[in-house]
């Protein structure tokens, strides 16, 4: 098993049994029991809850949930489950603040862009896109109610998103030449910051959140 760099452990969380994998070089940043190590800003409704080993955003809940440590270059892995119309975001290299995070930091979309309510959104608003800057490929989300697996690599000026085994975004921020975009997005120049989930008062669930520094 050591040669595979993968170990398995059974853990009990809130009376339920889960299979947890310890991947080589990855550190869990959500313990499945509490939000220790996380900071919630701009809470709406019930904010973010922990239920059955998952981070849960209930209907009308949300806010910006940041992990307390700052990261520069990293690989982040997590799983998420959408409901119809779910809308959230993944902050990368973000400052700790309530608003303008898609501009002062960077936001990767987490959204059910298959929902009828989002049929007219821009391409750069769809799942996996770097908001207002780079659109992601579509068509790789699992049906609503099923778990999706996502990996985000941030390395130097490059950002890569792999969804359910498919690369949907692979960009270099140095390729942004539009002066208006650059002026509106100072966060593109950030070299480090926080990772976190940016709620928009729509339900969603997360689990198995882990990170590896590069």
The proportion of the chain whose per-residue pLDDT surpasses 90, expressed as a percent, equals 89
* Cα(35)–Cα(116) distance, integer angstroms: 33
> In this model, does residue 30 exceed pLDDT 80?
yes
pLDDT tens profile 54-92 = 999 999 999 999 999 999 999 999 999 999 999 999 999
**CA-CA-CA-CA torsion for 52, 55, 56, 61, nearest 10 degrees?**
150
Q: How confident is the model at residue 23, as a pLDDT?
A: 83
Better-scored residue on pLDDT, 4 or 22: 22
**Domains and their CATH numbers in the chain:** 26-213 (2.60.120.560)
pLDDT tens profile 8-18 = 343 333 333 33
Entry pTM? 0.89
């Amino acid at each position: 098993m050591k040669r595979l760099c993968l170990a398995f452990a059974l853990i009990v969380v809130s009376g339920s049994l889960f299979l947890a994998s310890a991947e080589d070089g990855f550190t869990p940043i959500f313990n499945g029991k509490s939000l220790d190590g996380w900071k919630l800003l701009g809470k709406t409704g019930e904010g973010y809850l922990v239920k059955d080993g998952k981070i849960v955003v209930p209907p009308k809940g949300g806010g910006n949930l940041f992990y307390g440590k700052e990261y520069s270059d990293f690989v982040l892995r997590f799983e998420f489950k959408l409901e119809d119309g779910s809308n959230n975001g993944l902050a990368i290299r973000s400052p700790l603040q309530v608003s303008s995070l898609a501009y002062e930091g960077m936001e990767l979309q987490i959204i059910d862009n298959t929902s009828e309510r989002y049929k007219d959104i821009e391409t750069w608003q769809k799942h996996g896109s770097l908001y207002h800057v780079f659109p992601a490929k579509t068509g790789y989300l699992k049906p609503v109610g099923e778990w999706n697996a996502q990996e985000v690599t941030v390395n130097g000026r490059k950002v890569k998103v792999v969804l359910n085994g498919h690369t949907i975004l692979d960009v270099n921020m140095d390729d942004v030449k539009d002066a208006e975009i650059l002026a509106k997005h100072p966060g593109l120049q950030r070299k480090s910051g926080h990772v976190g989930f940016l709620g928009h008062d729509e339900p969603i669930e997360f689990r198995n959140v882990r990170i590896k520094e590069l």
